[in-house]
Amino acid sequence: QVQLVESGGGLVQAGGSLTLSCAASGRTVSSYAMGWFRQAPGKEREFVAAINWSGDARKYVDSVKGRFTISRDNAKNTVNLQMNSLKPEDTAVYYCAASAAFFKVVRGECDYWGQGTQVTVSS
């Protein structure tokens, strides 16, 4: 069993930055693809970003391209999401997730999910 715990959320003004972190415990997940998802009130969960096991391949939803960067440190079993130029529409609960297959992460078909961390962007 793997537990994923997000941190780094909070309140930030539009145009500001936040870095989210996800720490994994339990089974080693260094060989897993990792991803970030978000869900705003009244909306469906949406894919945000994914990174493969080696960290050399990444994918982002169009709305965050050029603003968000996903990275990982397998030695620490962590994955980060650097969020720059934040917009009010980025407000959501952000979740990290993991799957053995990169394409499954992109599709939201993940084996493990974190509890989420709130990101609120004020205008």
* Intra-chain end-to-end CA distance of the chain, in Å: 40
pLDDT at 75 over 90: no
pLDDT of 118 reads 98
Determine the average pLDDT of the residues in 9-34. 91
Tell me, rounded to whole angstroms, the distance of Cα 39 from its chain centroid. 11
Tell me, rounded to whole angstroms, the distance of Cα 117 from its chain centroid. 10
pLDDT of 5 reads 96
Q: How confident is the model at residue 105 (pLDDT cuts 50, 70, 90)?
A: very high
- The DSSP code for 91 is -
Determine the average pLDDT of the residues in 70-88. 95
